[in-house]
Amino acid sequence: MEYCVNLDTVHLKRNRLGRWEGGCIESLKGLLDCPTISCLDIQDNYLDDPAILEEILMKMPNLKVLYMMNNPCVKTIKGYRKTIITQIPTLTYLDDRPVFEDDRRRAEAWSRGGIEEERLEMKKIKQEKDDKHWANHEAFRLMVNKARDTKKNEAEADKEAKDYKKKSMKEMMAAARSAKEEGRGEETGQFSVK
């Protein structure tokens, strides 16, 4: 496999891995020769040695997707999903679902201090989400108020402009009337005298 320099996906599902002489680790050792692997499907095999996590999977630098269900070792790894997520920091998908940032934080808390630490982290995550929700809510409220104020200011400015225009038209009309009455404007031809 060391010659497969662009290999990124390996499907070894239902290949009887771990069934033959040499065991699980020997049957997967070739994966280490290809550091470009990012997706690995080894589900439905006979992998029963939990040491494959430390000996093989943790040493794969680009592993992002791992399918390992239906192997005997899954049942022997304590807190299987949390342990795998904690031990392989590059992982974004494990078995049947994605690994979200919250999943990773919970798994790391669990590995630090068990279920109590995980519960504290869950409360912290919930508080952060609530704070973010209310911050977004407040930002939206401020945006609406600003838009409302801007619209109100524009309406007031439009009204003032119309009032000024109306007032200046009235003044111009009044000035024209008074000029007509005084007889000014005949020489300029602005209006005719009857």
User: pLDDT tens digits for 120-146?
Assistant: 999 999 999 999 999 999 999 999 999
What whole-number distance in Å separates Cα of residue 52 and Cα of residue 24? Answer: 7
Q: Are strands 97-98 and 93-94 parallel, antiparallel or unpaired?
A: antiparallel
Q: What are the CA-CA distances from residue 54 to residues 20, 111, 121 (Å)? A: 21, 16, 26
76 in Cβ contact with 48 (< 8 Å): yes
Strands (E) in the chain, as ranges, are 9-11, 39-41, 65-67, 93-94, 97-98
Task: Report, as ranges of residue numbers, the positions in the chain whose pLDDT lies below 70.
Answer: 21-22, 184-194
What whole-number distance in Å separates Cα of residue 190 and Cα of residue 175? Answer: 13
Report how far apart the first and last C-alpha atoms of the chain are (Å, whole number). 109
pTM of the model: 0.67
For 9-99, CATH number out of 3.30.465.10, 3.40.50.300, 3.40.50.1370, 3.80.10.10 equals 3.80.10.10
Q: How many CB atoms lie under 10 A from the CB of residue 7?
A: 15
Identify the burial level of 85 via C-beta atoms within 10 angstroms of its C-beta, where 0-12 means exposed, 13-18 middle and 19 or more buried. Answer: buried
How confident is the model at residue 81, as a pLDDT? 94
How confident is the model at residue 193, as a pLDDT? 47
Q: How many CB atoms lie under 10 A from the CB of residue 84?
A: 21
How confident is the model at residue 11, as a pLDDT? 92
How confident is the model at residue 100, as a pLDDT? 94
Among candidates 64, 116, 109, 108, which has minimal Cα distance to 87?
108
